[in-house]
Structure formats: structure tokens, C-alpha cells
Amino acid sequence: MERRNFIKNVAGGAVLAGLGGYAAPSVAATGTAFSSASNSAKFTLKYAPTLGMFNGHAGKDPIDNLKFIADQGFRAAYDLGMIGRPPAEQEKIANEARRLGLELGQFSLKTAGGTHFVLNDASVRDMLKEKMLAGLEVQKRTGIRKGLVVLGNADSKLHVEYQTANVIENLRICCDIVGNAGLELVMEPLNTLVNHPGVFLTRTTQAKLICVAVNHPCCKMVNDLYHQQITEGNLIPNLEACWDYIGSIHTGDNPGRNEPGSGEINYKNIFRYLFNRKYSEVISLEHGQSIPGKEGEMAIIKAYREVDPS
């Protein structure tokens, strides 16, 4: 599933299977009532549902989604599409998240699609500068500390070493723009076998090499466990090998890109490793649901309860 379709599907729909004894909250025209259905024991790790993951229970309003997310014991939330929301709505979401004690995770700087980071091209650098400046405006309004970058497609007419050198130079320019403001750039390796054929960045080894070469404190990488299970496996050793450069972790089981327990990844062991490593950053729930409707949404919550370390 391409990122743009994934975001659309998650934002427009709901997620998974039931929690025993759970009475689903009702959504009224004037707001959402959750008090009678609270499951407010806080999760140990900072799992972040996307706004829209629980539309079946909370409706489509992002504020009601934040309330539902907090009410279920989550400590964070995120919205990849934050940069596309009106400024006033960005501020409203950020203010409500603060009120609820939720940390807002990364937003996308919309660098996906096409061939760009791998090129030595003035017009590409102008485009990237514009996106970085737009990201800084979102940071000012919301306080979000991380911006997601996707390095785009490879160029088959350029040796991979030249492409890598161009990526490093382009990222240095981006880091110089956002670094003083404290916005951390997290670049995401993607899989080519199922979702993103043709992309340049696919492996954690690549991402670490680039981070070391850029040599800027705001240049970090995403470890998306779904993508990396497809591309390279060996998930916990690769987390350990890249630990100092991991700025963000995404979840999703494989196959299917749904909640933990729906596929082959042993999330219980992975989250125990993160807990023992004292990982305190947001963990973005970048996946769908294996069961439709409200029942599926409750199954997502149940799945994370079952694998959350204590």
C-alpha cells in the first residue's frame, strides 16, 4: 500500500477486534462521550495512534479522536498530514494534546514521490528548502519535534555512490535550515517488494551510513518494523546496531500491515527490548486493522495491551 493510500484509508476508516466486557462509547452530534467506557490505565511505552485510527468510535473530528486516544490510556498521537491542515486547526490540535497530556509525534514534510534527494540539482534544493521552512512553521504552531522525510526514488542513470553523496549533501542543507530550531529530521527506509518499488532508501544499514556522513544532530532515521521485516528481518539486532541514530519507530505487522498479532512479527519481544533499552520516544502506529469496524478498533487497543511490557 502506498503511503498516500495508507493515510487515506486509515484517516477514513477504523481498525480491529473486541475487548472483553467493553461497552462502546456513543458519539453525539455535539461531542463524544467516553467517560463510561474509559480504559485509562496508561500504556508503558509511548504508542501513538494516528488521528483517524478510531473514527468508528470518535468520529472524524481530530479533537474527539485525541480525547478517545487519551481515554484509552495512550500517551501520544500523531498526524502525518499535519502540515496540510489549516494553521488554526494545527494550533487547536496541539493545545488539546497538551491539555490531555499527549505527546504529538512526527508529521510528514511531504518529500515523498519522484526522484529528488538523489540528484545534484538546484531546483530540487530550492524545493527542499521550501518544505523545510514550511515544516518550521508547523513546529512553531505545534511544538512537534520531528519531521518525517522520504528520500524519493533512485535514479538508474546515476551510480549508487553518486546518489548517496547527493543525498548526504541535500540532507546537510535541510539540517542546516531546521537544526537551530530543534526540528529533527527522521528519514524512512521503505520496502520495495510490496509497497514502494523504486525507492532509494530501503535498509537500516543505508540509513545509518547516511546519518553518520551527514554528521548533524538533527539527522536521524526511522525504523519502520513492518518495512524492515520485509526488507531485511533481524529486527532486534538491527535496532541495536542503529540505536544512536533511531529518531522514530513505526509499527505494523507483516504480512498485511495491521496490528500486532495479526502477522509474524514478535512484537512482545521487540517492545520488551525497547522497554529494557529505556526507549522514551513516540512509537507511531502506522498500520491498518485486520478486522473491520468498531470491533476492529477495539482489537487494536487489545493487541497493544497484550504486547505492552510491564
Q: Counting beta carbons within 10 angstroms of the beta carbon of residue 159, is it exposed (0 to 12), middle (13 to 18) or buried (19 or more)?
A: exposed
Residue of 103, 281, 286, 295 marked active site: 286
Q: Do the strands 184-187 and 146-149 form a parallel or antiparallel pair, or are they unpaired? A: parallel
Q: What is the pLDDT of residue 40?
A: 66
Residue of 103, 184, 188, 295 marked active site: 188
- Own/partner contacts of 302-307, CB < 8 Å, gap of 24 or more, are 302/16, 302/17, 302/18, 302/19, 303/16, 303/259, 303/260, 303/261, 303/262, 304/43, 304/47, 304/259, 304/260, 305/43, 306/260, 306/261, 306/268, 307/260, 307/261, 307/267, 307/268, 307/271
Q: What is the pLDDT of residue 38?
A: 53
Other C-beta atoms lying within 10 Å of the C-beta of residue 240: 11
Q: What is the pLDDT of residue 33?
A: 39
d(C-alpha 33, C-alpha 64), whole Å: 9
Residue by residue, pLDDT tens for the chain (310 residues) are: 444 444 444 443 333 333 333 333 333 333 343 333 456 699 999 999 999 999 999 999 999 999 999 999 999 999 999 999 999 999 999 999 999 999 999 999 999 889 999 999 999 999 999 999 999 999 999 999 999 999 999 999 999 999 999 999 999 999 999 999 999 999 999 999 999 999 999 999 999 999 999 999 999 999 999 999 999 999 999 999 999 999 999 999 999 999 999 999 999 999 999 999 999 999 999 999 999 999 999 999 999 999 999 8
Phi-psi region of 152 (alpha: psi -120 to 50; beta: other; left: phi over 0): left
What are the chain's domains? Answer: 3-22+34-307 (3.20.20.150)
Other C-beta atoms lying within 10 Å of the C-beta of residue 113: 13
pTM: 0.87
d(C-alpha 83, C-alpha 244), whole Å: 27
Separation in Å, CA 90 to CA 63, 84, 144? 11, 9, 10
d(C-alpha 210, C-alpha 213), whole Å: 5
Q: What is the pLDDT of residue 272?
A: 98
Active site (annotated) includes residue 188: yes
Other C-beta atoms lying within 10 Å of the C-beta of residue 178: 21
